[in-house]
């Protein structure tokens, strides 16, 4: 096939009303998930701080679906204006409907706006919402149970019964499950003495660093689980992207230790390294130079 024929086919498909309308619908819905997508790529992101933003996005999508008539009307008008500039029109007619249709949607509708709202706009909202719910809502009960040990979530009425779900799930990893009740009381008294809310951390990793494993072995294990539960694959994908830039053709024979160090330097650019510290570490290594007198 000649190149100009391929270009003509691509242009024809791009100017179709279904394609332009789908672009406007996607842009409208995905603007709700874009901030969440950026937030999930943060390094310090954990499930404690993720559940609330996800719930907010799900609520916003529910409102969009509830007000689908008014919201889609403005989307339809904007898409129609763009299509009219290139010589087309969405509202001109409705695709032909028959008694039985297998190749495309065959919903009953009086107008073109109603036709595209029912099989395209509302199902797309349901699709995005169901995927978000399946990805994060299933972890909601476990995270809610684990959050009881996070200092910002602690309350005077927090008891071991509130940790029942995570205790049953992670029963095999506790150092001493019998002392969890007294350990939780000591943990509560430590943080409830701090009156200011800013003194109680809401991040599970920060709370883990404030924990003494010898005093709170079970609490330390719960915080360790909460801090390491995977939220997204952004961290793993970031390491692969870094490896692509670090391991060039000229560094093909680099050792694993050196390659790991270069990757860590590339990922953690915000960390400052003192030259004096590097020189001191280098001086401690044995010299491989042989002196012949």
Q: How do the pLDDT tens digits run along the chain, 293 residues long?
A: 577 788 878 877 777 888 888 889 999 899 988 888 888 877 666 666 777 788 888 889 999 888 888 888 888 888 888 888 877 666 556 666 666 666 666 677 778 888 888 888 888 999 999 888 887 766 676 777 777 777 777 765 556 566 777 777 777 777 777 787 788 888 888 887 777 666 777 777 788 888 888 888 888 888 888 777 766 666 667 777 787 788 877 777 778 888 888 888 887 777 788 888 888 888 887 776 665 55
pLDDT recorded at residue 231: 67
Report the alpha-carbon distance of residue 229 to residue 144 in Å, rounded: 13
pLDDT recorded at residue 7: 82
Residues 259 and 251 sit within 8 Å (Cβ to Cβ): yes
CA 253 distance to own-chain centroid: 36
Q: Is residue 170 domain-shared with residue 212, that is, in the same domain?
A: yes
Instruction: Please name which of 227, 222, 228, 97 lies closest in space to residue 170, comparing C-alpha atoms.
Output: 222
Q: Is residue 125 domain-shared with residue 68, that is, in the same domain?
A: yes
pLDDT recorded at residue 99: 61
pLDDT recorded at residue 103: 61
pLDDT recorded at residue 202: 73
Q: Is residue 169 domain-shared with residue 80, that is, in the same domain?
A: no
Q: Is residue 122 domain-shared with residue 185, that is, in the same domain?
A: no
The domain of 185 spans 150-228
In a domain, 238, yes or no: no
Report the alpha-carbon distance of residue 102 to residue 148 in Å, rounded: 51
Q: Is 87 left (phi over 0), alpha (psi -120 to 50) or beta?
A: left
Total structural domains within the chain: 2
**Residue 284 CB partners (closer than 8 Å, separation 6+):** none
In a domain, 247, yes or no: no
Report the alpha-carbon distance of residue 129 to residue 269 in Å, rounded: 36
Report the alpha-carbon distance of residue 229 to residue 222 in Å, rounded: 11
In a domain, 291, yes or no: no
């Amino acid at each position: 096939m000649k190149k100009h024929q391929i270009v003509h086919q691509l242009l024809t498909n791009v100017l179709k009303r279904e394609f332009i309308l789908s672009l406007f619908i996607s842009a409208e819905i995905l603007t709700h998930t874009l901030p969440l997508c950026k937030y999930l790529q943060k390094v310090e992101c954990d499930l404690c701080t993720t559940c609330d933003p996800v719930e907010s996005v799900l609520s916003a999508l529910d409102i969009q679906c509830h007000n689908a008539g008014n919201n889609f009307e403005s989307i339809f008008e904007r898409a129609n204006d763009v299509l009219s500039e290139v010589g087309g029109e969405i509202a001109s007619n409705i695709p032909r409907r028959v008694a039985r249709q297998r190749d495309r949607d065959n919903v009953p509708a009086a107008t073109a706006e109603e036709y595209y709202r029912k099989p395209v706009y509302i199902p797309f909202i349901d699709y995005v919402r169901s995927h978000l719910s399946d990805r994060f809502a299933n972890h909601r009960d476990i995270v809610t149970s684990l959050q009881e040990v996070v200092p910002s979530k602690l309350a005077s009425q927090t008891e071991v019964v509130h940790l029942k779900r995570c205790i049953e799930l992670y029963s095999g990893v506790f150092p001493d499950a019998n002392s969890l009740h007294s350990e939780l009381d000591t943990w509560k008294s430590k943080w409830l003495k701090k009156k200011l809310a800013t003194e109680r951390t809401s991040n599970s990793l920060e709370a883990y660093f404030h924990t003494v494993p010898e005093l709170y072995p079970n609490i330390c294990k719960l915080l360790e689980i909460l801090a390491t539960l995977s939220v997204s694959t952004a961290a793993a994908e970031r390491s692969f992207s870094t490896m692509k830039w670090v391991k060039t053709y000229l560094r093909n024979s680099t050792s694993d230790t050196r390659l790991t160090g270069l990757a860590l330097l590339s990922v953690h650019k915000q960390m400052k390294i003192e030259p004096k510290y590097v020189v001191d570490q280098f001086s401690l290594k044995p010299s491989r130079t042989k002196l012949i007198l």
